[in-house]
Amino acid sequence: MVSLENLRRKLPSQVKFSVPFSPRERISRFGDEGRQDNGKIATSGHLLLFRDRVLAKGYWKRVLDEIKRERKALPTTFDKKQLAKIRQERVRWEAKTLKPWIRGSPEQKQEFRNLSDVPVKRIYTPEDVSYLNQSEQIGLPGEYPYVRGVYPTMYRGRPWTMRMFSGFGTPEDTNKRLHYLLEHGETGLSIAFDMPTLYGYDPDSPRAEGEVGRCGVSVGSLKDMEIILEGIPLEKVSTSMTINAPASVLTAMYVGVAERQGLKPKDLRGTVQADILKEYIAQKEWAFPPEAHLRIIRDMMVYCTKEMPQWNYISISGYHIREAGSSAVQELAFTLADGFAYVDLGLDAGLKVEDFAPRLSFFFNCGMDFFEEVAKFRAARRIWARVLKDKYKVKDSRSLLLRTHAQNSGASLTWQQPLNNIVRTTIEALATVLGGTQSLHTNSYDEAWALPSEAAATVALRTQQIIAEETGVADTIDPLAGSYYLEWLTDEMEERAFQYFDKIERAGGLLNAIKTGFIQREIAENSYRYQQELERGDRIVVGVNKYQIEEKKPIDTLKINEEAQRRQIARIDMVRETRDNNKVEQALNELRKTFKDEKANSMYPLVKAVRAYATLGEIMDVGRKIFGDYKEPPIL
């Protein structure tokens, strides 16, 4: 296989490589024109300490060596006599049964590898996991190291939250869809925002033209959020908001809606994504340089710890890293590396880990390699608990829990033969449940064509309900535990993740690994490898490179109302005309001063600005003028 490194040697020096599927490349109108990188204000004080703390000074290499020693340890589960007998039986089987069979019916491939390029053996036996110590390395549900689940009863106590990612068009459109899903059994809300909102632009910005309401709901001010959540009692439902660069603004808007419902911030349950590190790695939807965004996230951590104790203020997201082309191992490693960086950030804000760790949540992808995905969730819980207990000296058990939302892979869905995507979604959802997720979004079969139609979204929700109610997989906890292959693969993914932690440290720490493009290059290499496998036919995707058929557009898709942009512009004009503009200017001036003073907390003036109906774009423009922009390095 030709590697990216070999291609670089052959191509002219001016040819650049970048991570595929970048929204910044797709929507050029959100580009960097007219903006300068003058983000010096956010690069002092706490964040210099943060950058230094990320350098773990040999910790990751030490633990990696410990893991390798553990996997070579003397047998614990099986004694030597048992293992010798098992080995003898395997050798006999290979000679007497397997070898004659293969002569007449050879295997399909010389070598089998999973999607992370990990070799997969023909058969796994106790020999492969003889080192395992049940109590120390696996444990029991609700107990360290939480491999078997974060709660003692898991789904026997309550099923996972069925949280469907929803949002399109105008706030009225999205409000209608949210009510529809709640009426049909959804147990938690998850709001998707359009591209202008994700970047922090108002719907009447020239950069928003043609994108308003297309890939999510348009939000320009508190008025829009009030309409989205109209008729939904926020004290009874938890809401997840997939928003990053302007996460603090949308959190303030949610608080504003709650206040109008007579609630206090402390009453609110939900999650805001706010994982800006993965934006620089994968999704590319930032507004400021990394240090400025991290300072604002620090402010959110302090504010929410005090004012919103039930609110999960960072959802550390591997999903986008995976969709950018990473392997499951890379998703595991880079997501947890981001998580440890946010722990460092909280410490540098003066918080104790026990104050904020229970409010950090995770968001993982789930692809089509079934056992790899189950192993990934199990390994993630053990790594998180191990590092927080060992490196950060955390004793509170609640702070050791890795709680996660999951969504099946959008990249695995195909526009060819889209009804096949129902099967893919079902398999991926089942793997996620067997991996022990706390909440789940199942993609709709039409998402390779458009945003989900109401009918397709219903099928996606019913998929979860059928798994929960009809299959029996939720009746016992971690039912695949004890599989020799699964336990070996869980350990293998853990070891490979620590190899990446060590590489990140040697690259100068996480921020430096991002700024120099190390992580992005690793993802690009893996994405290229996978694409080559598809094109050679080594990796099969049904309907794409095998079992193709000629087909016309086979399904009806959701049509976004072309009036969405006009309506949103009219609404934001109305907001500007009817609000008290003196209050808005005072609030924005206070925010401006706070942004310039790194020791101040920007969340309090931000909430004031939102209450006064300052628009999303007005608030974000204050930051743009102070912090400047960030240009990522070319991925060479």
Average pLDDT over residues 625-634: 90
Q: What digits encode the pLDDT tens for the residues 275-312?
A: 999 999 999 999 999 999 999 999 999 999 999 999 99
Asked if 311 contacts 273 with a C-beta cutoff of 8 angstroms, the reply is no
CA distance 333 to 363: 13
Whether pLDDT at 10 is above 50: no
* Domains of the chain, start order: 80-125 (no CATH), 134-536 (3.20.20.240)
The three-class DSSP label of residue 303 is: helix
Average pLDDT over residues 431-437: 98
Average pLDDT over residues 522-539: 97
pLDDT score recorded for residue 186: 84
Q: How many CA atoms lie within 13 A of 202 on its CB side?
A: 23
Whether pLDDT at 54 is above 60: no
Per mean pLDDT, which range of 179-193, 195-209, 456-470, 592-606 is the poorest?
179-193
pLDDT score recorded for residue 552: 77
CA distance 607 to 299: 12
Q: Which of 196, 308, 293, 344 is closest to 604 using CA atoms? A: 308
Tell me the DSSP string of 332-360: HHHHHHHHHHHHHHHHHTT--HHHHGGGE
Q: What digits encode the pLDDT tens for the residues 139-160?
A: 999 999 999 999 999 999 999 9
Average pLDDT over residues 486-511: 96
Q: What digits encode the pLDDT tens for the residues 583-618?
A: 999 999 999 999 999 999 999 999 999 999 999 999
Which element (helix H / strand E) includes 272? strand 270-272
The partner residues of 316 in beta bridges, in order of sequence, read 362
pLDDT score recorded for residue 34: 32
Average pLDDT over residues 27-46: 37
Non-local CB neighbours of 460 within 8 Å, separated by 6+ positions: 164, 425, 442, 443, 444, 445, 452
Per mean pLDDT, which range of 48-52, 308-312, 458-462, 550-554 is the poorest?
48-52
Whether pLDDT at 30 is above 80: no
* Burial annotation 305-327 (CB, 10 A radius, 16+ → b, else e): bebbeebbbbbbbbbbbbbbbbb
The model's confidence at residue 187, banded by pLDDT at 50, 70 and 90, is confident
pLDDT score recorded for residue 455: 93
CA distance 257 to 222: 7
Whether pLDDT at 3 is above 70: no
CA distance 363 to 243: 13
pLDDT score recorded for residue 275: 97
Mean per-residue pLDDT over the chain, rounded: 90
Query: Nearest 5°: CA angle at 595, between 316 and 340?
Result: 25
Can you state the percent helix, strand and coil of the chain, rounding each to 5? 55, 5, 40
Whether pLDDT at 41 is above 80: no
Average pLDDT over residues 387-397: 96
Q: Which of 173, 162, 258 is closest to 213 using CA atoms? A: 173
pLDDT score recorded for residue 164: 81
The model's confidence at residue 56, banded by pLDDT at 50, 70 and 90, is low
Whether pLDDT at 45 is above 80: no
Taken in order 75, 79, 81, 85, is the CA torsion positive or negative?
Answer: negative
The model's confidence at residue 450, banded by pLDDT at 50, 70 and 90, is confident
What percent of the chain stands above pLDDT 90? 82
Tell me the DSSP string of 435-475: HT-SEEE---TTTTTSSPPHHHHHHHHHHHHHHHHHS-TTS
What percent of the chain stands above pLDDT 70? 91
Non-local CB neighbours of 303 within 8 Å, separated by 6+ positions: 601, 603, 604
Q: What digits encode the pLDDT tens for the residues 534-569?
A: 999 999 999 999 999 988 767 888 777 778 999 999
Structure tokens at 50: 């943060």
Average pLDDT over residues 483-510: 97
Name the amino acid, one letter, at 574: M
Q: What digits encode the pLDDT tens for the residues 222-231?
A: 999 999 999 9
The model's confidence at residue 93, banded by pLDDT at 50, 70 and 90, is very high
Cis check: omega of the bond before 145, within 30 degrees of 0:
yes
Structure tokens at 332: 């595991």
Whether pLDDT at 24 is above 60: no
Q: Which of 476, 303, 443 is closest to 368 using CA atoms? A: 443
Asked if 223 contacts 174 with a C-beta cutoff of 8 angstroms, the reply is no
Asked if 131 contacts 75 with a C-beta cutoff of 8 angstroms, the reply is yes
The model's confidence at residue 443, banded by pLDDT at 50, 70 and 90, is very high
For residue 578, give Cα distances in angstroms to 539, 567, 574. 59, 17, 6
Q: Chain-centre distance of CA 352, in angstroms? A: 24
More confident residue, 76 or 550: 550
Per mean pLDDT, which range of 133-137, 215-219, 612-616 is the poorest?
133-137
Query: In which order are the strands placed within the sheet that holds 270-272?
Result: 311-312, 270-272, 239-241, 188-191, 161-166, 439-441, 404-408, 360-366, 314-317
Structure tokens at 434: 């067997």
Non-local CB neighbours of 174 within 8 Å, separated by 6+ positions: 166, 167, 168, 191, 217, 228
pLDDT score recorded for residue 53: 55
CA distance 471 to 469: 6
pLDDT score recorded for residue 556: 81
Asked if 58 contacts 235 with a C-beta cutoff of 8 angstroms, the reply is no
Measured in degrees and rounded to the nearest 5, phi and psi for residue 389 equal -75, -40
pLDDT score recorded for residue 567: 96
Query: Nearest 5°: CA angle at 283, between 385 and 462?
Result: 70
The model's confidence at residue 74, banded by pLDDT at 50, 70 and 90, is confident
Whether pLDDT at 42 is above 60: no
For residue 582, give Cα distances in angstroms to 45, 426, 460, 576, 614. 33, 54, 47, 11, 11
pLDDT score recorded for residue 59: 94
The three-class DSSP label of residue 191 is: strand
For residue 247, give Cα distances in angstroms to 293, 551, 619. 10, 42, 12
pLDDT score recorded for residue 303: 97
CA distance 86 to 419: 45
Asked if 404 contacts 364 with a C-beta cutoff of 8 angstroms, the reply is yes
CA distance 297 to 502: 26
Q: Provide the 10 A C-beta neighbour count for residue 139.
A: 19
pLDDT score recorded for residue 165: 82
pTM of the model: 0.90
CA distance 411 to 321: 11
DSSP annotation of 310 reads T
The model's confidence at residue 316, banded by pLDDT at 50, 70 and 90, is very high
Termini Cα distance of the chain = 18
The partner residues of 363 in beta bridges, in order of sequence, read 317, 405
Q: What digits encode the pLDDT tens for the residues 162-180?
A: 988 888 999 999 999 999 9
pLDDT score recorded for residue 26: 35
Asked if 214 contacts 195 with a C-beta cutoff of 8 angstroms, the reply is yes
CA distance 286 to 630: 8
